[in-house]
Structure 1
Amino acid sequence: MATHLIVTSTEQLTPRLRRVWFRSNDLSAFDGNASTDRYVKLVFPKAGVVYPEPLDMKALRGTIPPEDMPVVRTYTALFPDVAAGTLAIDFVIHGDEGIAGPWAAAAQPGDTLLANGPGGGYRPDADADWYLLAGDESAAPAITAALADLPAEAVARVVILVDSPEHELELELPSGAVLTFVHREAGGDLVEAVRALDWLDGRVDAFVHGEGNAVMHGIRPYLLRERGLDRKQVSISGYWRQGRTEEGFRDWKSELAAAESAT
């Protein structure tokens, strides 16, 4: 379902992470979606291309050249309030690189976006004894939402990869949570940081997302093979791939899935 979003305000959470607040006249698509990793597909029109109104991605396919199709990027939707018609999206900014980051850096009240969705498939397991939440900046919004869903006394280990101490987020944590920031500029590595955690007793519920190679080739084998976790205990997937656009990343994920299914 397509939702029209209107920017109401922005805030800079860290030097590279910018939160944009939106309102909408209709957030009914979010009603009943309990996933903490709920995501939307944001639609960014190509500059210089005139599109019919209202903008409809399905209706456009096959009617205009592929190179003129709007660019679609996937982002976690935070704090959706269906009654108030508000939500937030956190964007990682890489200077002028990419499509969504520059848009968010320049966003002003009144700017609009079309969002398709939401999707999602994870919510912390209420029966788990403890929680492992790990990722880089791209996963920080979904980790933020998962933390907000945990009981106040929940036991959790949270590991987030950022550039340096000035890029660390302020997060509200349950009383039993321990937060570790790993710094790229100091040679920190997400895979090594997760492996270095003291493994707690009891049943763990794990949410691990971020750069595809680190997550899928580094952390997933550790959790599933070395720690022997059942796949039902683990939500793990790449959100992006170093050196690839989102379109290239989708191709990489398809290639990985095909290769794994063939073994």
Structure 2
Amino acid sequence: MEVPVYGVVREKEWLTPSIVRLRLSGDGLEGFTMVAATDAYVNVAIPPDGAPYAAPFDVQEVREAHPKPLWPARRRYTVRRWDDETRELLIDVVVHGDEGVAGPWAAGAAPGDVLVFEGPGGGYRPDRAADWHLLVGDESALPAIAASLEAVPEGAHTVARLVCDGPEHEIALDCPGDLDLEWLHRSGRAADATLLLDAVRRLDWPQGSVLAFVHGEATEIREIRRHLLADRGLDRSSMSCSPYWRREMTDEQWRAVKAAFVAEMESDVSSPDG
């Protein structure tokens, strides 16, 4: 049996009505080694209700010993912060009521609960060589964007456009750079789907090289990506872009079509000239 990586919930805090923060520690994090990326993530494993095994568990061993309905659900969550000295891990989880798997688990988590995961992985970090930084996303991307804002070089021009359900869903953000931040609030109307795109289109585009981080709802992110490549002339190598979820789809429905969606998205613009 491979020794699983896991954290024990020490504290739970609601940052907003829809984001819960879990503070994890314990012996299960002894072998945890953080990567340099500010979009670092772990793949959590959430057992179904009534699972005949308890955490910590080895995911592969569970798969070999039990039928598929009893396997843990796998979800990816951003590492909000890792403290190498205290060996504490912070994970912020978006909760949409009873929807999904990890959200309800996090909402109901209590001190002493155990979270099993694999990782971390990641690939983005603000590049000191960039003249300015652009970060665009919704609640699902907020942990990575918050961590990235903290890592931009001091004084660097940084533009953030973030969408959420209202002022009570905003969180405090720290940034050593020169931050141009705008929160966009959904209204429940069809126009919500283009709030981020419209905000990026309105930008007075600064001179110099930009490094962009664009993550969130699939359709919104696809349109912003198309705009940045075709209209702004951004090179793919200057952008980290990923659809985290898709409106009107459950987690499982989205996971089933995500690879095909991403392949189509990647073929949208063949060159910076469109």
Tell me whether 179-188 or 145-154 shows the greater mean CA deviation.
179-188
Shift of 1:191: 1.4
Which amino acid is 2:118 matched to? Answer: N
Counterpart position of 1:252: 257
Match of 1:109 among 108, 111, 116: 111
> Does residue 170 in structure 1 map to residue 176 in structure 2?
no
Shift of 1:251: 2.4
Quote the sequence identity (%). 44
Equivalents in 2 of 1:157, 1:74: separation in Å?
26
1:124-135 matches, cutoff 5 A: 124-135=126-137
Counterpart position of 2:214: 208
Counterpart position of 1:242: 247
Which amino acid is 2:259 matched to? Answer: S
1:186-216 per-position Cα deviation (integer Å, ceiling 9, x unaligned): 7541111121121111000000100011102
Equivalents in 2 of 1:174, 1:199: separation in Å?
21
Counterpart position of 2:44: 42
Equivalents in 2 of 1:89, 1:214: separation in Å?
24
**RMSD value, Cα:** 2.1
When residues 232 and 29 of structure 1 are mapped into structure 2, their CA distance, relative to the original with a 3 A threshold, is farther
> What secondary structure is seen at the aligned counterpart in 2 of 1:13?
strand
> Does residue 219 in structure 1 map to residue 224 in structure 2?
yes
Equivalents in 2 of 1:240, 1:260: separation in Å?
14
Equivalents in 2 of 1:5, 1:156: separation in Å?
34
Equivalents in 2 of 1:140, 1:133: separation in Å?
10
Equivalents in 2 of 1:34, 1:106: separation in Å?
31
Which amino acid is 1:207 matched to? Answer: F
> What secondary structure is seen at the aligned counterpart in 1 of 2:35?
coil
Tell me whether 116-125 or 92-101 shows the greater mean CA deviation.
92-101
State the aligned residue count: 262
Length-normalised TM-score, structure 2: 0.88
Shift of 1:6: 0.5
Equivalents in 2 of 1:257, 1:69: separation in Å?
26
Does the 8 Å contact 1:162/1:182 carry over to 2? Answer: yes
Equivalents in 2 of 1:205, 1:236: separation in Å?
11
Shift of 1:169: 1.2
1:209-250 per-position Cα deviation (integer Å, ceiling 9, x unaligned): 00011102x111111111111111000010111122333222
Gap regions ≥5 residues in structure 2: 269-274
Tell me whether 151-160 or 28-37 shows the greater mean CA deviation.
28-37
Length-normalised TM-score, structure 1: 0.92
Which amino acid is 1:255 matched to? Answer: A
Shift of 1:51: 2.5
When residues 73 and 32 of structure 1 are mapped into structure 2, their CA distance, relative to the original with a 3 A threshold, is closer
Gap regions ≥5 residues in structure 1: none
Counterpart position of 2:196: 190
